[in-house]
């Protein structure tokens, strides 16, 4: 991460500890930060030298907070979120079901005036804005209480997947479980770095039509949209074109952990080799009835559609830890898993 991006992350994350005293989780803070940052970006593009029209309706834009304090500011913020959450298109994508969770108007005022208003976001390079926001997403994912780690993919997996896909200019790229958009951003950056001499039409297609993502959790969709926007990529909704799904089982009997056995790039070398980058038609599964321990296999579309609720939680290998009582996981790992699960349950109960 660049020095400027790291500075922004430290600046924004430091205020999160202040709001934690009011009961906001890291995820709550990131949600508030995202909607406010969108309003600020929309306002900046109306100012010189851009002088563009704002996507925000009059009366609900960034300027409406000028001169407001206390309860008046808080009530206006709630009205803005409620109104924009009913809009269609990009506004609905970012604001749908967004709620004001900052109870202290003075702290809301400080977040707006001291943190967001004093930074000129549009003049920052996309790399800086994007890296800063991804830095916040990563910190949120590291918070075991939030449970957000399931939406943030480790960098070694993203890098290995890019090596397998080798995205090409003009292709349509889809992530059907996009989370906060890490894969799609990696695809975008891969193509930008691989094809630096794109025409304007090719670059517009890449930014606004080539990348598609889907997720079912609205709060995550909001983070996904902001993540792509801050990388100067326009988020779009996907339409399913898959005929065959190739799956590599990296979980059964592997037991990766964040502390004692973190995932390494070398752990994905077999996956990359089997995926046959640039020669997909030559892929061959390692799983078969004769070799039930193979980790690489394909599912046809009709097989997936026949699954209950089209569940893509696919597994076929036998878990040795469940079959052999003498081969149980390490007690420390079990304790870590139970502690993490308990923290997530406590956080859920607190929210309820």
Residue 322 pLDDT:
66
52 domain residue, yes or no:
yes
Domain range enclosing 185: 153-230
Q: How much is the CA Rg of the chain, to the nearest whole Å? A: 22
pLDDT band for position 154 (50/70/90)? confident
Question: In whole angstroms, how far apart are CA 270 and each of 130, 134, 159, 163, 296?
Answer: 31, 28, 14, 12, 9
Q: Does residue 13 sit in the same domain as residue 118?
A: yes
Q: Does residue 296 sit in the same domain as residue 199?
A: no
CATH of the domain at 28: 1.20.1260.30
Instruction: Name the residue with tokens 């949209």.
Output: 225
Sequence-distant (6+) residues with CB within 8 A of 88 are none
Secondary structure letter of residue 272 according to DSSP: H
145 domain residue, yes or no:
no
β-bridge partners, 212:
174
Question: What does the pLDDT look like over 262-280, one tens digit per residue?
Answer: 889 999 999 999 998 878 8
Q: Does residue 33 sit in the same domain as residue 105?
A: yes
Q: Does residue 191 sit in the same domain as residue 217?
A: yes
Residue 44 CA to residue 41 CA, distance in Å, equals 5
The packing angle between helices 3-20 and 126-142, to 10°, is: 40
Question: What does the pLDDT look like over 96-111, one tens digit per residue?
Answer: 999 998 888 998 998 8
Sequence-distant (6+) residues with CB within 8 A of 224 are 178, 179, 180, 181, 213, 215, 235
Residue 271 pLDDT:
93
Q: Does residue 115 sit in the same domain as residue 157?
A: no
For the ranges 205-214, 269-278, 317-326, which has the lowest average pLDDT? 317-326
Higher pLDDT, 299 or 154: 299
- pLDDT of 223 higher than 70: yes
- pLDDT of 149 higher than 60: no
Residue 290 pLDDT:
92
In terms of DSSP bridges, do strands 211-213 and 173-175 run parallel, antiparallel, or are they unpaired? parallel
Residue 175 CA to residue 298 CA, distance in Å, equals 17
What's the whole-model pTM score? 0.66
Mean pLDDT to the nearest integer, 337-341:
81
- pLDDT of 47 higher than 80: yes
348 domain residue, yes or no:
no
Mark which of 230, 256, 285 sits at the end of a domain: 230
C-beta atoms surrounding 57 within 10 Å: 12
Structure tokens at 106: 């003075």
Q: Which of 128, 107, 96, 99 is nearest to 17 (CA)?
A: 107
Q: How many domains does the chain have?
A: 3
């Amino acid at each position: 991460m660049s020095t400027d991006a790291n500075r922004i992350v430290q600046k924004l994350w430091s205020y999160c500890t202040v709001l934690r005293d009011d009961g906001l989780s890291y995820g709550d803070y990131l949600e508030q930060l995202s909607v406010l940052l969108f309003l600020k970006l929309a306002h900046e593009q109306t100012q010189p030298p851009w002088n563009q029209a704002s996507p925000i309706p009059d009366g609900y834009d960034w300027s409406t907070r000028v001169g407001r304090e206390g309860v008046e500011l808080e009530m206006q913020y709630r009205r803005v979120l409620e109104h924009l959450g009913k809009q269609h298109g990009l506004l609905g994508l970012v604001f749908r079901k967004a709620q004001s969770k900052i109870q202290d108007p003075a702290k809301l005022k400080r977040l707006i005036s001291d943190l967001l208003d004093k930074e000129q976001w549009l003049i920052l390079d996309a790399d800086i804005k994007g890296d800063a926001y991804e830095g916040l997403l990563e910190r949120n994912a590291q918070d075991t209480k939030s449970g957000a780690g399931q939406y943030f993919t480790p960098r070694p997996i993203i890098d290995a997947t890019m090596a397998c896909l080798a995205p090409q200019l003009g292709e349509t790229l889809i992530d059907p479980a996009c989370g906060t958009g890490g894969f799609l951003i990696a695809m975008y950056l891969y193509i930008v770095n691989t094809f630096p001499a794109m025409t304007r039409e090719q670059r517009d297609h890449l930014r606004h039509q080539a990348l598609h993502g889907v997720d079912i959790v609205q709060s995550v969709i909001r983070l996904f949209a902001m993540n792509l926007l801050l990388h100067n990529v326009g988020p779009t909704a996907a339409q399913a074109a898959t005929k065959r799904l190739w799956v590599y089982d990296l979980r059964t009997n592997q037991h990766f952990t964040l502390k004692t056995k973190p995932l390494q790039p070398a752990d994905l070398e077999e996956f990359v080799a089997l995926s046959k980058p640039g020669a997909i038609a030559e892929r061959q599964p390692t799983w078969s009835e004769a070799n039930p321990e193979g980790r690489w296999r394909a599912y046809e579309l009709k097989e997936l559609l026949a699954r209950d609720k089209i569940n893509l939680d696919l597994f076929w290998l036998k878990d040795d830890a469940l079959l052999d009582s003498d081969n149980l996981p390490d007690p420390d790992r079990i304790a870590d898993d139970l502690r993490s699960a308990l923290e997530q349950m406590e956080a859920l109960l607190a929210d309820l």
